[in-house]
Structure formats: structure tokens, C-alpha cells
Amino acid sequence: MSTHPRAGTPATPEDLVDVPALLAAYADRRPDPDDPAQRVAFGTSGHRGSSLLTTFNDDHIAATSQAICEYRAGQGVDGPLFIGRDTHALSEPAWVTAIEVFAANDVHVLADGDDAFTPTPSVSHAILTHNRGKVSGLADGVVVTPSHNPPADGGFKYNPPHGGPADSDATRWIADRANALLAEKLRGVRRSPLDRGAIGRYDFLGAYVEDLPQVLDLDAIRSAGVRIGADPLGGASVAYWGAIAERHGLDLTVVNPDVDPRFGFMTLDRDGKIRMDCSSPYAMASLVAQRDRFQISTGNDADADRHGIVTADGLMNPNHFLAVAIGYLYANRPGWPADAGIGKTAVSSSMIDRVAADLGRTLVETPVGFKWFVPGLIDGSFGFGGEESAGASFLRRDGGTWTTDKDGIILALLASEILAVTGQTPSERYRDLTDRFGAPEYARIDVATTPEAKAELGKLSASDVSATELAGEPITARLTEAPGNGAPLGGLKVVTEGGWFAARPSGTEDVYKIYAESFRGAEHLAAIQGEAQDVVAAALG
């Protein structure tokens, strides 16, 4: 993937979305239910699109909200529905649409008490707090967010009573029903005008911030005087960081407290687009440039379910921090179950495998998607669940469930706890891991393909792979199912002693993604990446 010549440089007026046009399109454009691109489609984290492309409009959200009402009723969910939203321009109108439909269906909605923005982990925390010890009157939730996606995008995701991302059965049912409602021109959608005074209220921020000492050693951070810089990247965590600093007495500076639906303060991502990706050195360039001001600097995406960690060495690769976090937590959480395992996605670094083996902990490798970690985080069989795209969560200090969705805030604060307790930054601790286990090279590239080839890639079986070697090494495993739970990978993973690659079709573009890693150096990684395309082409026939 080539790098845009302006990647990492500040956005200019020409880069900014036209917010009035975006909002007008949300209200005025009507999707064509016969056009697959304009239907409701849940990916790994909800339905996403743009009103300018007629893929995220009032009709989509009205139909999806009605489908959620019917789904939760069918599941016997009759408690409140917690709803949050981020700072994208389309989040506010979609939040209004959803509440109008929920109210007309007699769903008791609980929104933020100050009409403020609400991060994804705060919604998950609220659901779990409400449901703890209950067998009836269970709550669920919705977060209106496209996560780190560009400013023109909107997103809408559903979290059932377990507090985490809905599984495929739920999202398939909701999407199918929503598309049926679109085809019926919304005749089955109930809706009433918004009455803000009738909306139920909940103190998301207060409940979450007050509870943080149950999951993190904030006393250690405060006592060590760790200097922290937190950049919300204009997202929903903007008020949370200041509240955390004040409530817990931390030496924490909110680097950028601004909120702008155009995200005009961002530096451009690798492809020249504005994207609030806290794992991208290009999107995080302005914070990286200030790294000498703080001992630990952190960033979050727009709904704060992802984390970026900056030390004096620069922005950490997400895989590196996951490995460090796992090694630290399992050595410093005596209240966790002795048999609590580690959840990781199949495209995360094999450094995690080595750390898990060294800890003597069970490693469970799953397909991409945080939903696979939800059961383990609920019953304590996972102490930690993390994915390569900088999303993770972990148990409370006493071994109880904290969140069952990704929590970029606690992962960001964990970096400071690691420094406070060990005297080493996370990047220094990662160097210790490479001294012990080797230094892997990891990268992801996109390969152009056709919709037909994408569909075939998602249905491959291990027997379709005829290759016996990869980059000069014998192939030791050909996987189309996750070894940890037997669930379909939706693609292919090929493993050798010194490296691996995984190929997965993109859900939004005509490309497939190749994730690859080598413990034998950059040249070996490049060979894996090149031969991976040949292996995929041969498997597709």
C-alpha cells in the first residue's frame, strides 16, 4: 500500500467534509433496497456508511432501530436500553432517529445526563453494572459511532445484555429485518417526535470514572507522579480524561480538548484521509511530536474503544503493546483466576503466543472480532482479550468482569501503571521481550481483487491450499478455522516455524488484506507477503 505524500501532515480546508451537506443528505436521501451497497450490513462492529453515499441515512437508522426493538422483544429483553454517541457529525441525527423509534416502541432509553458524548466502553460498563445479579429486567445498548472512520461516516452498533458486540446470529437477524423494512418503505417502523424531556438519563461518565480503581492501580500512577498526555483525537473520551485526572489526582494533561465534527485538527492518515486511528503513526503524528513533554502519551479513536501508546521511543505498534500488557497483567493481578486464559485474534502477533507460553497460560486464538472474547470475559476464563487493531479489555483486579467491549481508556491508563510499577515504559519492556523471544516483523498490506474473489476467499477450505512451502520454510499449518474455538476465519491462515500470513477479504472495499509476520527479519517478511499472494491465487483457482 503506497503512502500518500501528505500523510502525517495537518489537514487543510480542502480536506474537510461539508457538514451541512452531510446532514442534509442524511435527512433527504432514500436508500434503494434493491442496491446491495445501500442496504443495512453489519460488519465486525455494526453498520457503517456515509449519508453522501446513501449508505447511512435516516431510513437506515429508523429501520435498524425498529429491528432492534423487535429483536430485543423476541429475546425477552425488557430492561432499559443505554444509548451513547460519539463526535462524528452523523452521530447526533442518528441518535435522534434511534430514540424516536425506541420511544414509539415503549423502550425505556437511558442517555447521558448532560447530553454529552459517550464512549463505547462506558456503555458496556453501564450495561454490565445494571445487569449484575439480575435475571430479569436486563438492559442492552446502542452506540452511534463509526469508530475511527473518516468524518463523513456514521456508524450504529448494538450490544445485547452481555454488554459486548452482538454476535453474528443477532446482527444477521437485525440486518435482515431492517432491510425488509426498507423494502416495505418503512411501513412497519413506529416513530414518535423526539421529546428530550422524556428521555431517561444516566451518569455514564461518573459511574465509569468512579469505578476505575477496581480495574487499575491508580494509586501507583499517582504516587509515581507519571506525567501523562492524553489526546482524545476529538472523540467521545474528551470529557472523560479531564474527569479522570481530577477525580484520581493524576498528573494528566488533555493535549487537545477540541471537538470538531470535521476533525480539522487531525494529521492525515497513510492514504491522505482524515481518520482517527490511534494506532497509525500518521494520524498520531501531532501527539508523537510532543512525546518529550510526557512520560506516557496516549490517544483514543472517536468512541474510545481503541488505544494508542506513545513513549519516548514513539508510537508503539499495537501488537507490541498487547504482548507487554499481557505479560504485565498476568504477573500483577493476584486476584485473577489461576486458570484465566488469554484471548487473541488469529491475525495478532505470535509474540503473544510466546508470552502466553512463558506465563503457562492457555492461549485461545479466535477469528477477527471482539465478540469472540465476550463469553470468556464474562465467566473469567479469559483475563485478557485483545486484537491486532488496538482493541482490548481485561478483568477487574478482583477477577470480575469490567467491560465486554474494547476499552481504549483502561488500556491507555495501563501503560502508565506499567511504568509506575516496573519503572520501565512499555516500549522498554517490549525490548526485553524481543531479547528473550526474538524480534518479529509484522505488517498488513491490501491487495486489489474482485467481489467474486472476495466471496471465494471467505469460503476456502484448508484442502484448497496446495503449497507445501512458504518463504523457504515448510508449511506447518493451513487454517480456515480458528484453532481456539473452531469458528470460521472468513479467510485463510498459513503458518511456518518462522512466520505466517493470513488473508481476509475486506468488508467495504474490493481488496483482500494480507497480515504477515516473520521472526526471521524484514526480507523474510517481504518474501512471505509476496508468496502469500501466489498461495491465495492458486487456492482460488
C-alpha span between 147 and 153 (Å, rounded):
9
Number of H helices, E strands in the chain: 16, 23
C-alpha span between 124 and 373 (Å, rounded):
14
**147 a catalytic residue:** yes
Reading across the β-sheet that carries 382-387, which strands appear in turn? 363-366, 341-345, 382-387, 391-394
In degrees, rounded to 5, the angle at the alpha carbon of residue 220 between the alpha carbons of residues 215 and 223 is 145
Among candidate residues 91, 147, 280, 518, the one labeled active-site is: 147
Q: Is 501 helix (H, G, I), strand (E, B) or coil?
A: strand
CA-based max dimension of the chain = 67
Contact 338, 330 (CB under 8 A): no
Q: Across-strand partners of 518?
A: 441, 499
Q: Which of 305, 304, 288 is nearest to 296 (CA)?
A: 288
What is the residue whose three cell numbers read 482479550?
A: 385
For residue 103, give the H/E element and its range. helix 91-104
Q: Which of 171, 167, 162, 149 is nearest to 123 (CA)?
A: 162
C-alpha span between 360 and 368 (Å, rounded):
24
C-alpha span between 505 and 523 (Å, rounded):
25
Dihedral (C-alpha) 6, 10, 14, 18: value to the nearest 10 degrees? Answer: 130
C-alpha span between 455 and 40 (Å, rounded):
18
Catalytic residues: 147
